[in-house]
Structure 1
Amino acid sequence: MLPHCVQTFPVMLLFAFWSLFLVLTVRAAGVTVYGQIPLGITSAASATATQPAAYNTTVLNPPEIPNPAPATAFTLSLQSTSASVSSGLSIPIKGTFFGFSIEMSVITQLFGTNSSYLQVPLLNLLANIQERAGAVHVRVGGNTQEFAFYVDSLPEDRAISKQKADTNNPTQTPAVIYTMDLFYMLANISALVNVKWYLGVPFNDTSDFRLQIVEFGEAVLGDNLLGIQVGNEPDLYSAHQHRNSSYSPQNYANEFGEMVAALAADSNVPVRNNLIGPSVSGTWSPEDVWNTGFITQYTESLSALSVEHYPTDNCFPEYGIGVYHDPQTEFSDFLNHTSGVALCAPYLNSTKIAQAAGKPFLMFETNSASCGGFPGISDSFGGALWALDYGLQMAYSNFSGAMLHIGGQNVFYNPFTAPPTNVSRFFDWTIGAVYYSALISSEVFGSTNTSQIIDLQGNDGSIYTPQYAIYENGALARVALFNYMTDPSGKNDYTATITVVGGTVPSSVQVKYFLSDSVSTKDNITWAGQTLGGIHEVDGRFQGTLKIVSISCDTSANTCPIPVQAPAFALVFLTTPANVATVTFSTSVYTATKNTATVAASVLATSNGMSGKDWELGSTSSGSNNAAQRRARVEYAAVLGGAAVVVLKLLL
């Protein structure tokens, strides 16, 4: 089967179809909570709503200023070209480095009910990154991929449903039931935003691999399918009672071979060199798997090597597993450069092995803590600084990509969260602070796919003021500066003076600042003067005026002073940055009429014709529920590059 065909028409057709658009059926997205009990429930904004973890209001105290504090003025002497850097530069890194790992069971909450209903805020949030990186990489899978199975149809035309939870897994992960429409949903998203996908194939039953995910994924997504994950955290299979207690790296390698053989025997799988493994989580080291001959034996089938890892866990409050970690005590561990360095250290040998084998090395799933993260850490400005530093350190360590994991309503670490179904007509989405980490990373590396990064270790190696330099097309292009400290007095703001060896600084540089009042804050977070909004306020579009600070340099002294407040992150552009104007999908029209933004009909008739949040798309797939209907349906209208475009789908 082929992806849905999207056709464009002149804007004059918008008004003609407007009344049809307003009467489209709206189906609310489902919410998965994995059987969890919210760790922090507060009074809701409406009588029918509670506040699960994604909206938790816990604010921690920022750590004290270290004693002695790092210097507040230091110089960074940077080589003008990558060829002059003696050692330490990373491999070329793409702007898509930070992607999103989305638990398979929550995609109807985040993506939409089916291919006929897509969440506009999601499209905006992905488009923000696409405009900076050229594309967005999204992994659909996790624990819920392991027991997934295909059915021809589901009630209410849903793309997925859930079955009884896997009680052997600490998070009571449900099994996912999916239809062909899942793949059309992903294809429709890719048609609107340049999203590339990783999918996970079920691996719980080696006698029946249930290869429909691979078959339909390749047939529908085509080049938008990056790879297929084989096994999710196989080193935890024994603990979760998915294999016997003696299950070993060799057992996994053998079963991987059985998957390779099954795919080779399946005539509906034309692409057989895009598998990803072993995705171990730390109970086994990746070397445990490499030592089985895994890479050599399956090199023709592997497109990438992968691991998954969280720095710690917060499982005890929910499931009574492990030990209790006090978020206030843990907070300081996330607020220094040591964290990212220590997390990457166990993988340095494997990144070298991957390079020798010619394979990308991926952190396929990560975030602040397993079992949903920590209140006050995962959703704070400090958590965003940590995630960004960790991401840049992974790139410096020669990872080729990393996926920030997203779960349901009751996790603290989500980069973004849709509102609960029962208030979805009154509230918008909620942004998690780490979304900014992914967004900023896309600007750090850009869209040329040539960026190389080096950890500068300046300011006497202070762990509270880490810095990186980024070389693009062989030339010094950007400098990234962190300040993990919180000091309202300004005494621990610092100035980093950039000087260029083998060249000279430009007459001025442009700086984008990532700012908030404290590492503890959850709101009042801005990137280059703009914010995405607070709890239940996000439609994926930036609010406020873009603010890029121009700083004059002294070309005769070859110096450029960059101030960085405590706390903050600064991205210094030694070449003029692109003034990114993101293509977004407006949520200015709703089928509900309370607490919504509106647009006057007289303006709409001659405008770019924005669509609403509760919109429907159509299906053209042979055999789909509405394929037999011969009619046109308005899908969306958006501003694309300044031109008004109405997108329709012809249902044949």
Structure 2
Amino acid sequence: MFISLLCLVSLATVGQCSQAIQAQISSSASNQSVLVAKDFTSFSIEYNNLPYYGGNQSQPNQFSINLLSNLGRMTGLMPVIRVGGSTQDDIVYNASLTIPEFTDGVRVGNHRPLIYVGPSFFSSYNTFPNTRYIPGINLAINGTAGISSRKAQIDLTCKSLGDSLLMFEVGNEPDHFISYFRRPTNWTIEQYVEEWLEASQLVLEETSRACPQIARRSPGFFAPSFGGTDLGQPFSALTAFQNGQLSMHDIRQISIHNYMGSATNPTVTLQGTLMNHSSIMHSLAAHVTLAAELRNYTTVPYVLGETNSLSGGGASGLSDVFGSALWVVDYSLYAASQGILRAHFHQSTTSPYTAWTPNGTLTTNPPYYGNIMVNAAISDAPGTVIAALELQNNEDPRVSAYTLHDSGREQLPRVVILNMREWNSTTVGARPLLTFTLDVPAGVHGARIERLSAAGADVTTGVTYAGTSYDYDLRQGKPVVVDIAAATEKVTVNRHTNTLIVEIQDTEGAVLHLF
């Protein structure tokens, strides 16, 4: 039995479609389906911001714990937390520092100040329950003082994390070291590999000495953590592997970073860049190509080790509005459908793209609701596989869909539909919608509908998923049903046509749980 989708839009509707949008999927998973990890939605916390997001052992950040636990309950596995970013390579350990961290100076252009961390900084690790961490280690600073600091960083990190330590990451975006004046302009990929191997050997030796119980399970490395795919460039993940970075046989997962564009690029728009399936496919295409190339050298999984909407912390009006929540959903599910193991959404306290603000005025931000919808679609059922749902006769990049099946079980699929046609809260007139008619398998009685909704693509508050709010002001990020009708919405099958009819507003998404 197949599912077909029909788009019925009045002639007055903006972005009208006069032709049926159709798709066919089997009630069982297609050959193109791939396994999706239960911890696909993961996070990357800017290194020097860890005390704000995590709190410390005596006073953990309960707001962060609540939000991460919501995601963990939905899939049965907590997000993986990578602690890194640009400040990872600014770190110098100071044993006499009585505060967690201190920044010595200000950034001038690409010249970055040093950041000193004291012993109390490391008490911010391991504050999230049942969570695995990927801690960053400084690669940029060498010399006697740099190596001494690196040793202390390794020792204190492994002692703080214990069994929660998943992998180490040595260096953040070393392909950008030259532009940040961390290396001379003639620094080569061969020199990088030599330095990385030497620093990684130090990690292994110090971990064996300070934390033998961790060393015995050989956590390995998250690498090379380059800022992009750099395909065709002399300094790239591919050339690093060709020059022996894999010789230690301890790289457990490939980490490459990705952003949709720069926050300072004037051509970036909400509709054209973020709420746009074609733009998402284009952004991830090089990663799909690189992952295939790297399989000639290793079979370890490919991860977006740091990612978000726009580099440079994101842009207000783009990265912090409801439209970005829909981007999170489409970007995540498309990446998962391409075999990418996880996506670590980068978090920084002052950045527009942060999913939640952990200090000052505490807020749950629109991107977090996108994370919630993704995990609701993945679910905690075993062996979930995902495939992009091909929409025939559709050239609109603002509409996308996916199916998720639970392998090994006779269970109906979940269908994700995204209508990313931009509608703003200030737009005059009736809000357009698309009507989808689903031809469903025999035996389907209906669908429970969970919508990702807000007043418009431009709003920063009032977002809900399945009629539920995760705002701090209600229950400190714990779920609160604020719209009982939306929380219990169902649609039943038309017995004469064996179809389900579902209306999705512009700038809205939905997960359909068939029953």
Query: What is the TM-score when the length of structure 1 is the normalising length?
Result: 0.68
Distance 2:477 2:494 in 1: 39
Structure 1, unpaired ranges of 5+: 1-64, 316-323, 421-427, 576-652
Contact 1:309–1:365 at 8 Å: present in 2 too?
yes
Alpha-carbon deviation of 1:108?
2.2
Alpha-carbon deviation of 1:286?
8.8
Distance 1:252 1:296 in 2: 9
1:314-355 C-alpha deviation (Å, 9 max, x unpaired): 24xxxxxxxx5266x565322211121011100112223455
**1:633 is matched with which residue?**
none
Q: How does 1:618-629 map to 2 (within 5 A)?
A: none
Contact 2:170–2:200 at 8 Å: present in 1 too?
no
Distance 2:111 2:445 in 1: 55
| 2:306 corresponds to 1:365 | yes
Contact 2:166–2:219 at 8 Å: present in 1 too?
no
Alpha-carbon deviation of 1:126?
1.2
Residues 285/391 of structure 1: CA separation in 2 closer, same or farther (3 Å cut): same
Q: How does 1:472-491 map to 2 (within 5 A)?
A: 472-474=406-408, 476-486=412-422
| 2:289 corresponds to 1:349 | yes
1:28-54 C-alpha deviation (Å, 9 max, x unpaired): xxxxxxxxxxxxxxxxxxxxxxxxxxx
Alpha-carbon deviation of 1:481?
0.4
- SS for the counterpart of 1:304 is strand
Structure that is richer in helix per residue? 2
- SS for the counterpart of 2:167 is strand
Contact 1:124–1:541 at 8 Å: present in 2 too?
yes
Distance 1:449 1:280 in 2: 32
**2:438 is matched with which residue?**
498
| 2:385 corresponds to 1:452 | yes
Contact 2:322–2:457 at 8 Å: present in 1 too?
yes
**2:38 is matched with which residue?**
95
Find 1:140's aligned residue among 79, 83, 89: 83
Alpha-carbon deviation of 1:515?
0.6
| 2:121 corresponds to 1:185 | no
Q: How does 1:387-426 map to 2 (within 5 A)?
A: 387-409=328-350, 411-420=351-360
CA RMSD in angstroms comes to: 2.8
**2:66 is matched with which residue?**
124
| 2:231 corresponds to 1:285 | yes
Distance 1:538 1:380 in 2: 22
Amino acid across the alignment from 1:478: R
1:261-281 C-alpha deviation (Å, 9 max, x unpaired): 323443325154520111111
Amino acid across the alignment from 1:532: Y
Residues 255/505 of structure 1: CA separation in 2 closer, same or farther (3 Å cut): farther
| 2:478 corresponds to 1:541 | yes
Residues 489/451 of structure 1: CA separation in 2 closer, same or farther (3 Å cut): farther
Contact 1:95–1:443 at 8 Å: present in 2 too?
no
Q: How does 1:58-457 map to 2 (within 5 A)?
A: 69-70=16-17, 74-82=21-29, 85-86=30-31, 88-90=32-34, 92-112=35-55, 114-134=56-76, 135-152=78-95, 154-155=97-98, 158=99, 160-165=100-105, 167=107, 170=110, 172=112, 175-179=115-119, 181-187=120-126, 189-190=127-128, 193-207=129-143, 208-209=146-147, 210-266=150-206, 267-268=208-209, 270=215, 272-282=218-228, 284-285=230-231, 288-292=236-240, 293=242, 297-298=246-247, 300-315=249-264, 325=266, 329=269, 331-353=271-293, 357-409=298-350, 411-420=351-360, 428-448=361-381, 450-457=383-390
**1:602 is matched with which residue?**
none
Distance 1:168 1:284 in 2: 26
Alpha-carbon deviation of 1:451?
1.8
Query: What is the TM-score when the length of structure 2 is the normalising length?
Result: 0.85
| 2:405 corresponds to 1:471 | yes
- SS for the counterpart of 1:460 is coil
Alpha-carbon deviation of 1:283?
7.4
Residues 74/311 of structure 1: CA separation in 2 closer, same or farther (3 Å cut): closer
Contact 2:322–2:456 at 8 Å: present in 1 too?
yes
Same amino acid, percent of matched pairs: 21
Distance 2:373 2:478 in 1: 15
Amino acid across the alignment from 1:304: Q
- SS for the counterpart of 1:195 is coil
Amino acid across the alignment from 2:16: A
Contact 1:136–1:194 at 8 Å: present in 2 too?
no
Amino acid across the alignment from 1:70: C
Contact 2:451–2:510 at 8 Å: present in 1 too?
yes
Distance 1:171 1:518 in 2: 40
1:126-173 C-alpha deviation (Å, 9 max, x unpaired): 111111122121111111111323344532xx4x21231463664956
Q: Select the structure with the greater relative contact order (CA < 8 A; seq sep ≥ 6).
A: 1
Alpha-carbon deviation of 1:416?
0.7
Residues 505/344 of structure 1: CA separation in 2 closer, same or farther (3 Å cut): farther
**1:634 is matched with which residue?**
none
Contact 1:94–1:446 at 8 Å: present in 2 too?
no
- SS for the counterpart of 2:197 is helix
- SS for the counterpart of 2:45 is strand
Contact 1:75–1:496 at 8 Å: present in 2 too?
no
1:449-475 C-alpha deviation (Å, 9 max, x unpaired): 622211113152331110011121255
Structure 2, unpaired ranges of 5+: 1-11
Alpha-carbon deviation of 1:556?
6.3
- SS for the counterpart of 1:102 is strand
Moved over 6 A (4+): none
1:94-136 C-alpha deviation (Å, 9 max, x unpaired): 2321111111112222222x32122221111111111112212
Distance 2:338 2:232 in 1: 15
Contact 1:405–1:414 at 8 Å: present in 2 too?
yes
- SS for the counterpart of 1:140 is strand
1:70-117 C-alpha deviation (Å, 9 max, x unpaired): 3586443211212xx24x322x112321111111112222222x3212
Residues 174/435 of structure 1: CA separation in 2 closer, same or farther (3 Å cut): farther
Contact 2:229–2:287 at 8 Å: present in 1 too?
no
Residues 289/206 of structure 1: CA separation in 2 closer, same or farther (3 Å cut): farther
Alpha-carbon deviation of 1:507?
0.6
Contact 1:499–1:559 at 8 Å: present in 2 too?
yes
Residues 445/178 of structure 1: CA separation in 2 closer, same or farther (3 Å cut): farther
Contact 2:103–2:113 at 8 Å: present in 1 too?
no
1:417-461 C-alpha deviation (Å, 9 max, x unpaired): 1343xxxxxxx5112210111122111212346222111131523
- SS for the counterpart of 2:80 is strand
Contact 2:51–2:124 at 8 Å: present in 1 too?
no
**2:3 is matched with which residue?**
none
Contact 1:94–1:133 at 8 Å: present in 2 too?
no
Alpha-carbon deviation of 1:184?
3.9
Contact 2:165–2:219 at 8 Å: present in 1 too?
no
